[in-house]
Chain A
Amino acid sequence: MSEEVPVLVLSGITKTFGNVIANNAVTLEVRRGEIVGLLGENGAGKTTLMNVLFGLYRADEGTILVEGKQIHVTSTADAISLGIGMVQQHSHAVERHTVLDNLLLGLPGSNGLLDKTSALQRLKEIGDAYGLRLDPARPVHTLAVGERQRLDIIRALFRRARVLILDEPTSVLTPQEVEGLFSALRALKADGVGIIFISHKLNEVRAITDRVVVMRRGEVVAGVDNDDTVTNLSLATMMCGHEPERVVRVPHQIGDPRLVARGIELDSHGSQSPLPINLTIHSGEILGIAGVSGNGQVALAEAIAGVKLPRHGSVSIDGVSIDNPSPAVMQKAGLAFIPEDRIGAGFVGPMALKDNMVLSRFSDAPFSRKGWINWKNILDFANMQIAEYDIRPPDPRMPVGLMSGGNQQKAIVARELAFEPRVLIIAQPTRGLDVSAIAFVHRSLMRLRDSGCAIMLISDDLDEIFQLSDRVAVMYENSVVWETPIETATVSTVGLAMNGSLPTQDAAA
């Protein structure tokens, strides 16, 4: 092999946020026409590293070389002009503007004017070359998630990116869309574009990449060529630092129906209007809700928890139907809801931990009487929870926003479990957590299940669903399309259902 100069070299990149080290002396190389998989658990520092490369964050230390020349990326404009393109996890486009305007944004134009003619020409070229097509006149807010991602890729190609970063690109796509993306990536690779493919999905990384770089806790821990020796297990072991622990579900007692949701109709999504959703979760049972993110899981959780009422539908708990559901009413009925966006919806970031521990309960005894708050009882309660769940730092006056993600999750789990819920809805319970925090959350959920709580577990992570659930329900376009005991489900049948095609008896068998 000739000693070709790599198209991109990152070396010694260090980035800290306050006292959290997100990247510690990270080194990464990408050659022309190479697809590098950047693998790691949530919070391993992959996204931070890419944001540094793209000029969104500034590194504390380190150098970046593009085609052998050292560069200083201080803004996204620098990165773009150096041929670096980025497709972020969540699309960043101006909703109200058209596809064309979003493509033109940031381009220099010709003679000081927006150059629509040549933009349309280029859009057609990209469509012909890579099969990436979009109607330039459509406003972005009418695009589906997959189409928005296509817009982001086209935008990077518009600027003739030589390095393309894709951050968890498949998490918003169905398997078919993933295949379409992969064929576009192969075409790009053939044209000599270097691609960084960030993911924590092992199968996809193995399917598309030439080389895999694994990050853990802000550091690069391994870099291997993607050949026959690489297996899911070997990659997972590198990601976690040890062979991943498989919690084996032990058979256990499942009781009477606790949460019964009947005829819940969510807003329409995509072409078809969604089917009414009927769900029953029994005492001591975990129902896993699987699905590609954005297929109504959040809406279903919010509908049952009374946060955002559905168009139709009713909910009952332990046989008592709830008449005017609202978050307060559902809490009174024994339902706890831990939303995905913990700091945004579960906590008040600038407020002290102790106040956050009673966020939904401070109006009740013993935390207040007749509208008068008993601060001492609140403090005692918070201290008790801090001790029991080992929340750090053990300071009840610490603003929650300054705590680590793992401790925030511990605190919210502690808070909701303290009131012994009969039903728990928990969304993405381990997203962004490190291994030990994940184990803690999983253990807590198991314990709660054993105590008879009915748990609805929403997760994008199929492994997590299979690890914990007794039954699995799959959501697609705001409907539940398939529901089955976990014993009769496989990753491939669930995957098919996530794609909207019902698994046949043959496939399920």
Chain B
Amino acid sequence: MNIIDIGFFAAAVRLAIPLLLGTLSELTSERSGTLNLGIEGMMLAGALAGFSTAAATGSLWLGVLAAIATGAAIGAIMAVLVLILRLDQTVTGLGVSMTATGLVFYSYRLAFTETGTPPSITPFSTIAIPYLSEIPFLGPVFFNQYALTYIAYLMVPALAFFLYRTPAGLALRSVGENPQAAAAAGVNPIRVRFLALLFAGALAGLAGAYLNLAAFGSFTFGIVAGRGWICLALVVLGRWNPFACAAAALLFGAVDAFQLRLQTSGSVDLPYQLFLALPYAATLVAMIFNGRRTAGPAALMQPYDAERR
């Protein structure tokens, strides 16, 4: 079996999309100054909300909406904890992920017991974009995908445009660099960071919904399986820039697709697990090379306290 064919590249794009959405989510919150370690839990909660809503209503799009709302709701909780109560971002993020994971598994087990068969949904089917999908190679790889994929494509320039061309985007970047300066210019850092976390939660929820409503068509306990943590890594690799982050997501979508093929082909004697470790190892190397000239937002992980004297 040939591992690298057009189908492989299409699969790479398919697997890159949740990473892309999650990475844009993490990028947004980090650019505003919040390290969101809750992303893993948000993606998982989005996946379950999307799946169960779609299963109950029969509408995939309602499922997508439910996933977005669930992610945003967890984002709001995280925001209250780290922005209003100023809890430590690292430990709180882990706590949010732990809690969300526990609650998702708990409610999934309650809703669909071990013995019963879980409901199945018919996932999104691909839509070939007229003309574009007929371009050799690029067409079948990029333009015969799900509607959610096309939305994800559009998110990249949209987010970049927002960050670099709009007053709100400038405010978001400034709050992540120096919240005191933003406050002195009339921007409310807490409000900006709150909205950024809401948006980040919504995107993370959407990423989760994509996994079972488009990519896999079912919910399993391992559906997210660390993809949230990978997004954390991809933001570092993409140096907090939407386009570079998208490229990093595509690259590791390909790595993911490659290791899946390795697993199923069984013909090549290469441990696929090492490919799973690749994004993390690459991030570590990238961080070593970035060194002190860190590209990250200057106020990342620093709580903002207006009355600090």
Report if A and B touch in the complex (beta carbons < 8 A).
yes
Q: Give chain A's interface residues, CB within 8 Å of chain B.
A: 17, 56-57, 75-77, 79-81, 86, 88, 92-97, 101-102, 104-109, 112-114, 152, 155, 159
Residues of B within 8 A of A159 (CB): 186
- The closest CB in chain B to the CB of A88 belongs to B184
The smallest C-beta distance from B302 to any residue of chain A, in angstroms, reads 14
- A93 vs B307: C-alpha distance in the bound complex, in angstroms? 18
Residues of A within 8 A of B292 (CB): none
- In B152-188, the 8 Å CB interface with A consists of 165-167, 170-171, 173-174, 177-178, 180-188
Q: Flag if A77 contacts B188 (CB, 8 Å).
A: yes
- With A79-B186, A106-B167, A106-B171 given, can you name 16 additional A-B contacts, CB distance below 8 Å? A17-B307, A76-B185, A86-B184, A88-B184, A92-B178, A92-B180, A94-B181, A97-B174, A97-B177, A104-B167, A105-B170, A105-B171, A105-B185, A109-B166, A112-B166, A155-B185
Q: Flag if B170 contacts A101 (CB, 8 Å).
A: yes
| Among B165, B181, B186, contact of A102 (Cβ-Cβ < 8 Å) | B181
Subset of 14 A-B contacts with CB under 8 Å: A56-B184, A56-B306, A56-B307, A57-B307, A77-B186, A92-B183, A93-B181, A94-B174, A95-B177, A97-B174, A105-B170, A105-B182, A105-B185, A109-B166
The smallest C-beta distance from B182 to any residue of chain A, in angstroms, reads 6
Count A/B pairs, Cβ under 8 Å. 81
Q: Flag if A75 contacts B181 (CB, 8 Å).
A: no
Residues of B within 8 A of A57 (CB): 306-307
- The closest CB in chain A to the CB of B176 belongs to A94
The smallest C-beta distance from B274 to any residue of chain A, in angstroms, reads 37
The bracket for how many chain B residues form the interface is: 20 to 34
Residues of A within 8 A of B177 (CB): 94-97
B260 within 8 A of A: no
- A95 vs B177: C-alpha distance in the bound complex, in angstroms? 8
Q: Flag if B165 contacts A106 (CB, 8 Å).
A: no
- A106 vs B166: C-alpha distance in the bound complex, in angstroms? 11
The smallest C-beta distance from A112 to any residue of chain B, in angstroms, reads 6
- A95 vs B173: C-alpha distance in the bound complex, in angstroms? 12
Q: Flag if A76 contacts B167 (CB, 8 Å).
A: no
Q: Flag if B184 contacts A92 (CB, 8 Å).
A: yes
Give the one of B165, B184, B309 with max A CB within 10 A: B184
Q: Flag if B167 contacts A107 (CB, 8 Å).
A: yes
Residues of B within 8 A of A92 (CB): 178, 180-181, 183-184
- A355 vs B171: C-alpha distance in the bound complex, in angstroms? 42
B298 within 8 A of A: yes
- A114 vs B166: C-alpha distance in the bound complex, in angstroms? 5
- A155 vs B174: C-alpha distance in the bound complex, in angstroms? 15
Residues of A within 8 A of B182 (CB): 94, 105-106
- A57 vs B305: C-alpha distance in the bound complex, in angstroms? 11
A77-B187 in contact given A102-B181, A105-B170 (Cβ < 8 Å): yes
- A81 vs B185: C-alpha distance in the bound complex, in angstroms? 11
| Among A17, A96, A106, A114, contact of B185 (Cβ-Cβ < 8 Å) | A106
- A109 vs B185: C-alpha distance in the bound complex, in angstroms? 14
- A113 vs B166: C-alpha distance in the bound complex, in angstroms? 4
- A489 vs B170: C-alpha distance in the bound complex, in angstroms? 50
- A112 vs B180: C-alpha distance in the bound complex, in angstroms? 24
- The closest CB in chain A to the CB of B181 belongs to A92
A114-B188 in contact given A17-B309, A93-B181, A94-B182 (Cβ < 8 Å): no
- The closest CB in chain B to the CB of A80 belongs to B186
The smallest C-beta distance from A160 to any residue of chain B, in angstroms, reads 13
Residues of B within 8 A of A77 (CB): 186-188
Q: Flag if A76 contacts B184 (CB, 8 Å).
A: yes
Residues of A within 8 A of B171 (CB): 105-106
Q: Flag if A106 contacts B187 (CB, 8 Å).
A: yes
The smallest C-beta distance from A23 to any residue of chain B, in angstroms, reads 13
The smallest C-beta distance from B177 to any residue of chain A, in angstroms, reads 5
- A79 vs B187: C-alpha distance in the bound complex, in angstroms? 11
- The closest CB in chain B to the CB of A57 belongs to B307
Residues of B within 8 A of A86 (CB): 184
Residues of B within 8 A of A108 (CB): 167
- The closest CB in chain B to the CB of A155 belongs to B185
The smallest C-beta distance from A71 to any residue of chain B, in angstroms, reads 15
A96-B187 in contact given A57-B307, A107-B167 (Cβ < 8 Å): no
| Among B167, B170, B178, B186, contact of A93 (Cβ-Cβ < 8 Å) | B178
Those 10 A-B pairs whose CB atoms lie nearest each other, nearest first: A106-B185, A109-B167, A106-B186, A80-B186, A77-B186, A92-B181, A92-B184, A105-B185, A94-B177, A94-B178
- The closest CB in chain B to the CB of A91 belongs to B181
- In B115-171, the 8 Å CB interface with A consists of 165-167, 170-171
Give the one of B165, B180, B185, B307 with max A CB within 10 A: B185
The smallest C-beta distance from B12 to any residue of chain A, in angstroms, reads 34
The smallest C-beta distance from A47 to any residue of chain B, in angstroms, reads 9
- A75 vs B306: C-alpha distance in the bound complex, in angstroms? 10
